[in-house]
Amino acid sequence: MVMMVPSSSGEGRSSSPMEANAVAAVSVDTKLMVTAQQLKDLLSKEDSTANPLPTVTMNPLILSWACSGSWQDLELLLNSESGPSVRYNQEFLDLLTAYSSDSCIDKSASAQKASEDVEASLNQLPSVSAVSLLEGVTIEGSTALHMVATYGDVDGFLRSADIIHSKAKHLLFVQNNNGDTPLHCASRAGMLRMVSHLIGLASLDEDNTGVDKVKELLEMENKDKETALHLAVRIGNNDIVKLLMEENSELASFPKHGNSPLYLAILLEEDIIVETLYNASHMKLSYSGQNGQNALHAAVLRGTGSILGNNSMSTHGISSTYKDPFAELTKKLLEWNNDLTTQRDENGSTPLHFAAALVQQSHRGSVCSLILEANPAALYQSDNKGLFPIHVAASVGERGTIIMFLKKSTSSAGLQDTMGRTFLHIAAENNKVRIVSFVCRNQSLSWILNMQDYAGNTALHLAIQAGSLLMFCALLGNRQIHLNISNKKGQTALDISRYKIPPGLFDDQNSETRIHYALKVVHARSGNCRRDHFEENYNHQLKHTQREELKNMKESTQTLCIGAVLIATVTFGATFALPGGYRDDEHTNGGTPTLAGRYAFDAFILASTLSFILSAMSIVGLMYSGYSILNPHSRRIYFLVALYFASMSITCFMVAFALGLYMVLAPVAHKSAITIGVISPLVILCNKTEFWIKWALLARPLCTRIGLIRTLVLVTTRILFNTLMEFWPIIFIFVWAAYTRNQF
């Protein structure tokens, strides 16, 4: 600790004999003398000019003492009233000498003369010198008072604030690079006593000047347009919030535009602070938020509702029967200011738009109901894109919210945005199957099923463009939907389904293919366009090129070839490593398979052989499909053949696997052998799952359109044909094994 010892005369003496001896033993150093002179020159220069000086870096000693609350050291340095009657500790003088020069100083060359010069300079400094020392700032532009306010609020820091304020009162209102005053810093750091102390210092200035300094200090905003109250809200310190609001009950109304303290508290889910702000402001507070939002926007998304307890109000006739805790904060705000329901943000969204956009939130229904009860007209308020709340709910797939909206007002179903789209169009565009299915099943909404947007598209057009088989089936199953409506381009649903099928190679099990096939089955018509013109537009629209198709074929060939080679390798090895082994050479048929002649063995051999042959044929087909010397049409044929043979080789491979294990396990574990035989075909069945599911989905709408008998015949025929094409190797293997067993 740096000590100061008062002297009875103008000349001081050392605080101890050891210190006096140490000073007498130090030689004079020129560098320290220069340092002392620099300090005097700097202070005299400030006194001689009225022009503002460039930013001065804060002395490290002052910064250190401010951050640690060393008020004695600050007082020792800044107290100019003591004059020459104060004697400075040698350690203090050495530190001050070292930090007063930019040059490096040899510690071993410290001099008594330099220390005496520094001491003499300090004793001779006018009162303005203390202000000059306090003008130094950190790299963030913070003064010593900023640092004191930030780092503590115990007695040492409060005393330090008093000392600094007594020498430089203007520092209480100085803003750093971020626009923060010392009060901002204290509030951000959660220093309750310091906040109160700084307000007290401002009130002292007010007493002297007659100006409301406290109000001025409290309402000062930083570059983020935030007062000290905002920062207290950010850290969730309700005590500081109460203190600030007690000093200025109108503080919650700042800023006029931007994030208000109330909006910020709701956004941060500080429910206690929300109620404190409202009660302390006497209902004079700002509800504004970022991007033109208000507190109700934030409450819809963030409200937790714990602030109400058992209290209930009905200022605007809002029912108090809602028990959902998530809706309580919204209810509270509506009681405070019902006009919040009509205010729109920069995108034109009202709080009801926000509530309608909530996904998988248990409180969304209660929140929407509260807003609609407070302002039923909010359902008919659109955003900048013409989207109404019902459109927003449809875009996120919230069927429950849409049902509630329709109960409030059935006519809202026909609301159209700037593109002429109803909520059904929005649901179809965004692939919201549950919404589309709900509308198709609801007879009261049949009047919007065939509504066209400004491009002439119905929900059926958009569902086909989205490639959703589920939505298509829901729409196709409603006979009130017209299949032959043309859009502004003259395209019907059948035309669009044709456009969705890419030319060249494609999987006939794709949803787009199934949709096109189903429309042809139910006799949907094309638009009024010549077929040659249609094909021309079709190829032009898809911008299909032969080079792209060959590139896709090449990429697919690489993957298929690897699989085919693996199957061929495994089946080749299995053929010469037969289950059951071989007979001894001493046997009549030595070297032959032990299990030869059995039905299962014959089927196993045939399955392994077919698997190897089909995979080998697939490899050959893939090789030819990659030959650039062949024309694209031939390469396409080779590729399709190779793909089919590869699929059949997998079927044979699984049959061989099941039969091999059955032969080995059947004599000793018959149940396990049967289980393996039942499980093994799952690999094959998995490959056809998509086919069966899609036909199952199409069965009901086809039955509605063409009748039960025709649907059964059509679906049964397609399934049987596909099953035969996929599983003929299994039939061939077991039938041929039985035939050869009887014939030979």
pLDDT tens, 453-493?
Answer: 999 999 999 999 999 999 999 999 999 999 999 999 889 99
Average pLDDT estimate for 153-157: 95
| CA of residue 555 relative to chain centroid, distance | 34
Average pLDDT estimate for 268-282: 93
Average pLDDT estimate for 266-288: 92
44-58, 435-449, 454-468: which has the minimum mean pLDDT?
44-58
Identify the pLDDT of residue 313: 37
Structure letter (DSSP) for residue 305: -
Of residues 582 and 553, more confidence is placed in 553
Instruction: Give me the residues paired with residue 88 across strands.
Output: 4
Identify the pLDDT of residue 12: 37
Identify the pLDDT of residue 723: 86
Rounded Cα gap, residues 725 and 540, in angstroms:
35
| CA of residue 720 relative to chain centroid, distance | 48
Average pLDDT estimate for 327-332: 82
Instruction: Give me the residues paired with residue 86 across strands.
Output: 6
Residue with tokens 């959902």: 324
Identify the pLDDT of residue 92: 55
Check: CB of residue 311 under 8 Å from CB of residue 280. no
Q: Sign of the CA dihedral 108, 111, 117, 121?
A: positive
Does position 650 have pLDDT exceeding 50, yes or no?
Answer: yes
Check: CB of residue 469 under 8 Å from CB of residue 428. no
Confidence class for position 126, pLDDT limits 50, 70, 90:
very low
Rounded Cα gap, residues 652 and 637, in angstroms:
23
Identify the pLDDT of residue 434: 95
Shortest CA distance to 161 belongs to which of 132, 197, 205?
A: 197
Confidence class for position 558, pLDDT limits 50, 70, 90:
confident
- Find the distance separating the first CA and the last CA of the chain, reported in whole Å: 114
Q: What is this structure's pTM?
A: 0.77
Confidence class for position 81, pLDDT limits 50, 70, 90:
very low
86-88/4-6 β-pairing = antiparallel
pLDDT tens, 199-240?
Answer: 999 998 776 665 689 999 999 999 999 999 999 999 999 999
Confidence class for position 98, pLDDT limits 50, 70, 90:
low
Cα angle at 157 between 156 and 160, to 5 degrees? 90
Does position 54 have pLDDT exceeding 60, yes or no?
Answer: no
**Kind and range of the H or E run holding 88:** strand 86-88
Of residues 319 and 636, more confidence is placed in 636
43-57, 349-363, 452-466, 657-671: which has the minimum mean pLDDT?
43-57
Average pLDDT estimate for 528-555: 68
Query: Exposure string (b/e) for 154-167, b if CB count within 10 Å is 16 or more?
Result: eebbbbbbbbbbeb
Identify the pLDDT of residue 118: 46
Check: CB of residue 649 under 8 Å from CB of residue 567. yes
Average pLDDT estimate for 294-312: 64
Does position 303 have pLDDT exceeding 90, yes or no?
Answer: no
Identify the pLDDT of residue 696: 92
221-225, 342-346, 513-517, 586-590: which has the minimum mean pLDDT?
586-590
Does position 86 have pLDDT exceeding 70, yes or no?
Answer: no
pLDDT tens, 375-419?
Answer: 999 999 999 999 999 999 999 999 999 999 999 999 999 999 999
Of residues 332 and 530, more confidence is placed in 332
Average pLDDT estimate for 34-41: 48
Shortest CA distance to 62 belongs to which of 135, 4, 121, 11?
A: 135
Average pLDDT estimate for 242-260: 93
Q: What is the mean pLDDT of the chain?
A: 81
pLDDT tens, 677-710?
Answer: 888 888 888 878 888 899 999 999 999 999 999 9
Does position 23 have pLDDT exceeding 50, yes or no?
Answer: no
Check: CB of residue 304 under 8 Å from CB of residue 329. yes
Structure letter (DSSP) for residue 306: T
- Burial class for 209, CB neighbours closer than 10 Å (0-12, 13-18, 19+): exposed
Here the tokens at position 692 are 């069966």
Check: CB of residue 713 under 8 Å from CB of residue 682. no
Confidence class for position 367, pLDDT limits 50, 70, 90:
confident
Average pLDDT estimate for 416-444: 96
Identify the pLDDT of residue 130: 67
Helices first, then strands: H and E counts in the chain: 36, 2
Within 10 angstroms of residue 574's Cβ, the number of other Cβ atoms is 20
Q: Which domains does the chain have, with CATH numbers?
A: 4-233 (1.25.40.20), 557-743 (no CATH)
Of residues 80 and 228, more confidence is placed in 228
